[in-house]
Structure 1
């Protein structure tokens, strides 16, 4: 799909504009990445891979919980999200996996195995990373993953395979589609409004809608059973979390995910929609912290 600037994208990401923005910035091979590295330096490192639209701010409350309990955290905005570059490249899991690998290397945090969390589309990225860098992943936490729906001939994603049609849809209806998608993510209306404001503010930067729709073209979010099966065969201790009222990646996929991933633990979070780390950060931390600690203790003993 040809790069475009959509109506309402009235800001540019430059070295000068980034000076007023929160977080750190580092130039990687594909572009500038927006990141935050927080928490005690001697803590186990937790690295987080987010979903289709979210900037790193999405993780703020979970980061606070994990840092307070002794864990170090690395969050970043995937290319095309938050304050990371809108790159003119193929937005697929190869790009996002390379971004994570280069970021951890550049920040000097790749010497010890890390604990990887992936949510929604980010779960597919996390699983791809785990397959490529098996020895560097100590544990894997998968939250409400995309990828288990069956491909359908009538799926809207099939329309995006045509570059010309995809461009027309993205330009004319992209923002409307985005807002509709965000409205299904969070169970609580007040949190939903907060999420929408967060995402749409970052989507004022040029190239944001292009990045999302190019991702929808090139990163399949259905029919990914083989990736789940491959991940389960890696032998990485895995924690599977899911919101009981997830309307984006429904809980009906839980048993399939469990069978393919063979996780050490699985847990359903009550009264929670699709974005558990954002909606129920304390509850998610309650599951992650002992899971990470148990693995770290076994490695140290």
Structure 2
């Protein structure tokens, strides 16, 4: 009965309380009610610690949360994906299993920092290239989230306010598009009004977002219509940030999409390639396949 009571108490504490640092007096974990997250108490010795934020700090936290909500709502509403689990991919849950994956992670983090610094005026075209199941999509989304964190979800723009121009902060627009799903949606939109509205929304975001991820380029069918669609996109995003994941290498990309599209992509792509060569297929590892 005693162990059952302790178990119930642990569950109750997990639901009601936040767990903090060790108590400075006895070492027991400090607890704070979720409704009052700045009031910490030790259940063993009775120690209390209250961390209060100024009104200005609380207002800043609210502003950042509002921006974050707006950015993520835009991302969810304008994305085209195979599985919603892609929205959970970040650097925090990317665990390298060897030195090659660690190098990929470090290079992606470095590029994310560079992208965040040049979010407004320094376009980057980033390629993540390698076989299926190597973690390209995970890294692409992680890079997007890292940029959002570093920029606090906003960019500075020059805007006319009254009779004067001022620098104001506006939420970043980011979108994710699985290319083969997007092309399927484009086909379906021809005869379906609802699909047509959805396609128009996503296509507009893909053309105008501050950062666009094009995932699994090369998985769509072989058709001039597909290639023309990509060429039109690259004409529009020639001087905008774009992150592309693909299992195709340089010559294969040129053969498939033509030198004109690749020329536009290479314009801001110098040094922005991450190769997943030599990295194991994680899907096969999970299924117990060959290592």
TM interval, shorter chain, is under 0.3
Larger radius of gyration: 2
Larger fraction in strand: 2
TM-score (ref. length: structure 1): 0.27
